[in-house]
Structure 1
Amino acid sequence: MVPVAPGDGLSRAAIRKTWGRPGLIPNVDILTLFYVGLPEEDHLPHIQQDLGRESRENGDIIQMDFQDSYQNLTVKTMMIMNWLATHCQEASYAMKVDADIFVNVFYLVNDLLDGHGLVRHKYITGSVIRDGRPRRDTNSKWHLSKEVYPDAAFPPYVSGAGYVFSIDLARMISLASRFVRPIPMEDVYVGLCLKVLEVQPVYAQMFFPPRKLFEIRRLDYDRCTYATRVIVTGFKPQELLDIWGDFQEGHLAC
């Protein structure tokens, strides 16, 4: 599930040609969907027309009825959860991942299937942040006033760059959101819903050698380094296209 701006066709095209391409892993069904809201009114006719054409050609865009903006990311994420709970109950897992991310679907699937077909429940994993605090500086992009969020700290939450969860959590998070006041930071908001549900996010890491599996910083491309990660952040569409051929052909040799 990739939340993306309506006008960002380049990112969608790059993902379709790389980690989101169908049939990458034999006998495993993976569906990549792009979630968009409504374009800003200044660009509405042009972008909406292009988006409609793209959707007819690819059949992988879900457009929802809200203004697509950074401040509405929480709305977007909760609508994704509700959509999953309604339409994807037969799935085992879902992943929310930003459009500028490299995803090693090979490692991801092998890790999820490591339980020999046993599907986890009430499970969410990614890069867990346990020491998050609200920023009171009004000049900060992530400013939260005491009126909106009075507590001095956030509960544990997974970085919104990318996280994986068992499909049963989609409905549970959607229901929990009815009891949690919205804030504009979508990943923290999911963490607040998890607190209501008494679900602890699992930090995705390896100990030998020690490494984070969900890398929320940019790493210089190295095939074998990337082969031992689930995500790496910070890719422009062309950069993703540039490395994918080398990675797909050679990652098994690492």
Structure 2
Amino acid sequence: MKRKYMKLLIVALVSSFCVAIFFSKLKDVEHTQRDLAKIPSVPAVTPGKPTTVPVVMNTKPKRKPNQKLMSFELSALTISETFRKDIPKNGAFWNRKLHSFLRQFDSTDNQTHKDPRDKFKCQPESFELLQTNIQDIHSYPPLYGDFLRGMECRDPPLLIGQPGKCSSDSGDDQIFLLFAIKSIPRHFERRQAIRETWGRERHQVRTVFLLGRSSEDDPSLDKLVSYEAQQFQDLLVWDFHDSFYNLTLKEHVFFKWMLESCPDVSFVFKGDDDVFANTQAILDYLKSLKPEESTALYTGQVIFDASPLRDPKIKYYVPQSFYEGPYPPYAGGGGFLFSGNLLPSLYHVSFYIPFFPIDDVYTGLCFKAIGINAVKHNSFRTFDIREQDRENPCVHKDLLLVHQRDPQQTMRLWRNMHSDMLTC
């Protein structure tokens, strides 16, 4: 009997020890949450669960002695005449809104150099106002309503940031390539596969994952995301619900973060968390560019002659009363590359282009507006390759990107591509 009680006592002690270790891991998160409570709250872009994600500022940016952190200023801006002519003037809501913004740019903002950030306050549009402007709004899918009400909300708080992400160890080297990967809280497995393969950080290469908060229909993963951010120091999390229609907002706030925390990066790879990228091939391609090519790069698998899809059952549905006209040529959102020096102009012009429910179309509009045309690159395969080639590492060696690959395929492909036994 004594031996039985001794075993129970040992089990209890071991369990207590494990619990103590677990709670010690959460100690930093709890301290941060208490600090966050002192900060005035800011409304989220869409109504939902209360925000519990702490702000994680993991490191201070490395800088030279006596160098001050500077807030960025918006660059001088010219909006392309071709872009203005390509977007027709008609009765569709988005078209009217765009041309209204362009008139503001031409009449007041451009002459007085007024900062457009001052005029956007997060005041969700009322349904009555939207109904006045969109008479058939009752026929729109429910998620469109959330998107439309939040179209003026452009500056959600950054809950988790990485201010030192683009600081090199020496403090002198400029970051050459930044991988900026769109993800959502519950996709940890995808993020980890990227960290262990093509997104692994190296000299002059950095990786960040772009997240909002868990959607209203998902359990809150805030504490897990906070712990992940502390462990890997590569998450950027903003205070809005992560949804398909909020990807455009994610694009806009990413531009802002880049200008604040990573303004000198040479190139940006923007993509989804289910793509497979060939890191070395991307680096080789970028280093082969001529100077005039490297300063105006916007490339990927380009979609030409596209127009809105009018079937409400399709994910990319756009009602005719919302937008009418063609789309500009744009690089597929699965993955594309662009020059870092274009960021100031992209961020500035994004204030004069109303948010659009499809993020890669919106990005194409921004590039078109600053006079940059999308250039097709045959090694970007955002619509995948032949089924019989999808497990072939030799085929992938000649590609820059394929879409889609699950985490297991990503791990397997990366391992096989870098095997000493591979002969292609």
Report the TM-score, using the length of structure 1 for normalisation. Answer: 0.89
Alpha-carbon distance in 2 for matches of 1:116, 1:128: 21
Contact 2:194 2:200 in 1 (8 A): yes
Contact 1:85 1:168 in 2 (8 A): no
Give the equivalent residue in structure 1 for 2:183: 4
Task: Please state whether the residue corresponding to 1:174 is helix, strand or coil.
Answer: helix
User: Unaligned regions of 5+ residues in structure 2, if any?
Assistant: 1-179
Give the equivalent residue in structure 2 for 1:176: 349
Contact 1:85 1:167 in 2 (8 A): no
- The amino acid that maps onto 1:159 is G
- Pairwise CA RMSD: 1.9
Q: How much does 1:138 deviate?
A: 2.0
CA offsets 1:6-48 (integer angstroms, 9 cap, x no match): 111101111011101123xxxx411010111011245454x11
User: Unaligned regions of 5+ residues in structure 1, if any?
Assistant: 205-211
The reply to whether residue 134 of structure 1 matches residue 308 of structure 2 is yes
Contact 2:306 2:328 in 1 (8 A): yes
Aligned ranges 1:94-133 → 2 under 5 Å: 94-115=268-289, 120-133=294-307
Contact 2:264 2:341 in 1 (8 A): no
Contact 2:416 2:422 in 1 (8 A): no
Give the equivalent residue in structure 2 for 1:82: 256
> Which of 205, 221, 225 matches 1:30?
205
Alpha-carbon distance in 1 for matches of 2:243, 2:407: 20
Higher radius of gyration, 1 or 2: 2
1:30 to 1:22, Cα distance in 2 relative to 1, 3 A:
same
Deviates more, 1:135-144 or 1:108-117: 108-117
Task: Please state whether the residue corresponding to 2:335 is helix, strand or coil.
Answer: strand
Contact 1:126 1:202 in 2 (8 A): yes
The reply to whether residue 203 of structure 1 matches residue 369 of structure 2 is no
CA offsets 1:129-152 (integer angstroms, 9 cap, x no match): 11111012222211112232121x
CA offsets 1:98-126 (integer angstroms, 9 cap, x no match): 10011001100000001378871122111
- The amino acid that maps onto 2:250 is K
Alpha-carbon distance in 2 for matches of 1:43, 1:185: 22
Give the equivalent residue in structure 2 for 1:70: 244
Amino-acid identity (%): 29
Contact 1:160 1:187 in 2 (8 A): yes
Structure showing greater relative contact order (alpha-carbon pairs closer than 8 Å, 6 or more residues apart): 1
- The amino acid that maps onto 2:284 is N
1:35 to 1:162, Cα distance in 2 relative to 1, 3 A:
same
Alpha-carbon distance in 1 for matches of 2:323, 2:404: 29
Contact 1:124 1:201 in 2 (8 A): yes
Give the 4+ runs in structure 1 shifted more than 6 A: 116-119
Task: Please state whether the residue corresponding to 2:237 is helix, strand or coil.
Answer: strand
Task: Please state whether the residue corresponding to 2:334 is helix, strand or coil.
Answer: strand
CA offsets 1:149-170 (integer angstroms, 9 cap, x no match): 121x111110000000001222
Report the number of matched residues. 241
Where is the strand percentage greater, Structure 1 or Structure 2?
1
Alpha-carbon distance in 2 for matches of 1:36, 1:102: 19
- The amino acid that maps onto 1:107 is A
